[in-house]
Structure 1
Amino acid sequence: MASNEEVWEALVKRLAAFGSREKAKRLAEGWIETDEGNMIPPSWVRAGSGNVGDSV
């Protein structure tokens, strides 16, 4: 039987792999990752970015 630490390490590895796949999928769909690590959907912009369509 695996120890709690082994189970935890296996879970962390699986979650990291899932996160990597999801991030790659979103980037392929046109999402943008900010310097802060936030994911912005396609066609959205940050307020005050100077792009057309920014909210006031």
Structure 2
Amino acid sequence: MSAEDRMKATAKNVEGKVQEAAGEVTGDPQDKAAGKSKQVEAQAQHAKEDVKDNLKKKLD
């Protein structure tokens, strides 16, 4: 597991949540969609890191 990759994914998730909330407040559907997209990217990155962690545990 790369702690740096996890931190980047978490930061992207937070950024996405903020952007989604801003889109809600301003009524901008593009901001809202972009925020959700960033959150999905972050979830995928976390899932990738989980797979890498599980694989490493099995190999050790």
Question: Normalising by the residue count of structure 1, what TM-score does the alignment of the two structures yield?
Answer: 0.50
Q: Which has the higher strand share?
A: 1
Larger RCO: Structure 1 or Structure 2 (Cα < 8 Å, ≥ 6 residues apart)? 2
Q: Which has the higher helix share?
A: 2
Question: Normalising by the residue count of structure 2, what TM-score does the alignment of the two structures yield?
Answer: 0.47
